Amino acid sequence: MKFADYVYKTLKGKVPRGKVATYSTLAKAIGKPNAARAVGNALNRNPHAPIVPCHRVVKSSGEIGGFASGIGKKVTLLRKEGVEVIANKVPKRFILTRL
């Protein structure tokens, strides 16, 4: 299985609607704790969206981060799922710290 496939499988199975994970947390969950940037790159090329919900991954600070379809679209999708976004940042109560 390719690195990106591990990222997609873990994200799809472990991050439910109404919650988000960080790139770093997702990297740790797939056994690659130093690969947060690679996780972001894999998600940017996600061919399975929206089945694999790459919009549910944010920076460690809670900031939205990048999104292939634009940050505005990412914010819209998160809010539609019940995630609060204030000034392009997700409050800590929505961020999963372990997967």
Q: Give the residue carrying structure tokens 């061919």.
A: 47
Q: Is 54 a catalytic residue?
A: yes
**Best CA proximity match to 58, nearest among 95, 10, 87, 7:** 95
Please state, in angstroms and as integers, the Cα–Cα distance from residue 70 to each residue in 29, 33, 38, 65, 66, following that order.
Answer: 26, 26, 19, 10, 7
Q: Give the residue carrying structure tokens 């940017």.
A: 44
Please tell me what DSSP assigns to residue 58. E
Q: How many residues does the chain have?
A: 99
**Exactly one of 54, 83, 85, 90 is catalytic; which is it?**
54
Could you list the active site residues?
54
